[in-house]
Structure 1
Amino acid sequence: MKKHLYKAMVQLTNNPIYSDILKRFATSKMSGKLNQSFVNAFNINQEELQYEINHYPTIHDFFIRQLKEGAREVDVSPSSVVSPVDGVLTEWGTIDEKANFYVKENDYPLKKLLGLKNTTRRYIGGTYMVFYLSPKDYHRIHSPIKAKVVKRWALGKYSEPVNKMGLLLGEKPLANNYRLITELKVEQKHVALAKIGALNVNSVHASHLKPQLEKGEELGYFSFGSSVVLLFEAGLIKTAFATDEQDIMIRQGEKIGTLV
């Protein structure tokens, strides 16, 4: 029962009344009394926490927690591309000639996700990866590669859940939810990282505004449930997984591909 309640707090819908009630509770001092219960319900590793559990005044503060230095090992090979988040790599493949990618057998147009026509074209024939973050996961987002920041922009107003049911029954939440997008450039090719909220406006927060990113450097964080979509131009990377592998549990900093 508790686990279902906690999931509801961090995977809210775009119903403004329901969302507002749970959001207010999650950011109240009263919710902080549930932090240990939240940890127990999701079997969260307390040894990784930057601070003791009683340091976090609300369940929201705990949700956006940072980790101890060294808690995540980033693959240091110059040619490696690493996971930007902790979570499940649910889908990956090739962006088709119509600039679509596919999640749960639904097509997602890049022009809807990115909102910029010229930007969309460059990813045709490239690679996409979709990462889902559950309530138990570390919700900070990091750069998958050392790169120059080309541009940043935001799209969308409201958000639906991005869990399996939300992806199956929602109105293509990965392309319609509120999202912050960062486009990077490496080896004269582009990488787009779309940080997709699953609550409402401003559930995604930027924490990096510099022109250059180091591999593994923090980009931002999610206040509530969320997903990340990574896009790579054609010929930039070779993925580290077989095409028939499904739902791979992965940690931030682990290798997901190699620069070609």
Structure 2
Amino acid sequence: MKKAIYQSFVELSGNRFNSYLLKAFTESKMSKVINKSFVKVYNLNEAEMEKPLHQYGSLQELFVRNLKSDARVIDKSLDSIVSPVDGILADVGQITENCTFHVKNQDYSLVEMLGNKNRAEKYKEGTYIILYLSPSHYHRIHTPVSGTVVGKWALGNKSYPVNELGLKLGKRPLSRNYRLITEVRLNNGKHYSLVKVGAMNVNSIHPTFTGDTVNKGDEIGYFSFGSTVVLLFEKDTIDLDPKVKIPMDVQVGMKIGSF
């Protein structure tokens, strides 16, 4: 019962007024009273939290918590591509020559997701990877591979559920929800895009990186509610790690592929 209530809190509202009320509550000092219950229900690992539980003054502070500096190990292999988030690697596949991919019985258009045809065609016949974050996960977003930021833009003005049910029943939420997109040029000249998809409203995605050069493992932002990351790689850029299975749990810094 408690878990169902929490899930309704963090995943199941696309209504701006409801989102405002939820945001106001989770940021209030009153919400601190449910922190201990939240930790228990979602089995959060207190040992890896940056601060003791009692020092988080609200549910929101707990949700966007940092971890201890040694809690995640970033794979240092020069050719590795790592998971940018803690979450579930929910799907992976090839983008078609028409710049589309298929998830949960829906076709997604990269033109719609990225905003124009030129951006989309760069990833024709490339690879997509979808990572879903539940309320139980650490919600900071990191860089999967080093490179130079060549573009940052936002699209969409609503956010519907991106959980299992939302992906099945919603109308293309990955490409219609509010989303922040970061495009990075790799040292080999190829590109990848990291699409951060909001699950609540425009305030649910918070960038923290402002530079031009990103190093693998750098934090670039965080979600204030559960959400989804879509990685897009150009054709012949990435080979998936043989250990990758669908679905599977991943953590920040875990190798998921290589050049």
Scaled by the length of structure 2, what TM-score is found? 0.97
* DSSP 3-state at the match of 1:159: coil
**Residue 208 of structure 1: aligned partner:** 209
Question: Would you say how many aligned residue pairs link Structure 1 and Structure 2?
Answer: 258
Distance 2:11 2:123 in 1: 30
Distance 2:124 2:149 in 1: 20
Deviations 1:107-136 (A, max 9, x none): 100011100221110100100000000000
Distance 1:22 1:156 in 2: 21
Deviations 1:69-118 (A, max 9, x none): 01001100000000000000111000001100121131100011100221
**Residue 223 of structure 2: aligned partner:** 222
Distance 1:196 1:75 in 2: 25
Distance 1:247 1:85 in 2: 15
**Residue 238 of structure 1: aligned partner:** 239
Distance 2:243 2:85 in 1: 20
Distance 2:199 2:90 in 1: 16
**Residue 52 of structure 2: aligned partner:** 52
Structure 1 portions without partners, runs of 5+: none
**Contact 1:12/1:19 (<8 A) preserved:** no
- Hey, which bits of structure 1, 4+ residues long, moved more than 6 A? none
**Residue 122 of structure 1: aligned partner:** 122
Structure 2 portions without partners, runs of 5+: none
**Residue 80 of structure 2: aligned partner:** 80
Distance 2:33 2:7 in 1: 17
Superposition map of 1:105-184 within 5 A: 105-184=105-184
Distance 2:81 2:46 in 1: 28
* DSSP 3-state at the match of 1:40: helix
Residue 241 of structure 1 deviates from its aligned partner by 4.2
Distance 2:156 2:173 in 1: 10
**Contact 1:9/1:23 (<8 A) preserved:** no
Residue 23 of structure 1 deviates from its aligned partner by 2.1
Distance 2:10 2:83 in 1: 22
* DSSP 3-state at the match of 2:119: helix
Say which is worse superposed, 137-146 or 21-30, in terms of deviation. Answer: 21-30
* DSSP 3-state at the match of 2:202: coil
* DSSP 3-state at the match of 1:202: helix
* DSSP 3-state at the match of 1:4: helix
Say which is worse superposed, 100-109 or 120-129, in terms of deviation. Answer: 100-109
Distance 2:230 2:49 in 1: 26
Residue 19 of structure 1 deviates from its aligned partner by 2.3
**Residue 254 of structure 2: aligned partner:** 254
Residue 18 of structure 1 deviates from its aligned partner by 2.6
Distance 2:143 2:258 in 1: 15
**Contact 1:182/1:194 (<8 A) preserved:** yes
Distance 2:44 2:7 in 1: 14
Residue 22 of structure 1 deviates from its aligned partner by 2.0
**Residue 93 of structure 2: aligned partner:** 93
**Residue 10 of structure 2: aligned partner:** 10
2:229 maps to amino acid? V
Residue 27 of structure 1 deviates from its aligned partner by 1.3
Q: Equivalent pairs: percent with the same residue? A: 47
1:206 maps to amino acid? P
1:228 maps to amino acid? V
Deviations 1:7-34 (A, max 9, x none): 1111132123332322221111100111
1:21 maps to amino acid? L
Matched, 1:26 2:26: yes
**Contact 1:240/1:255 (<8 A) preserved:** yes
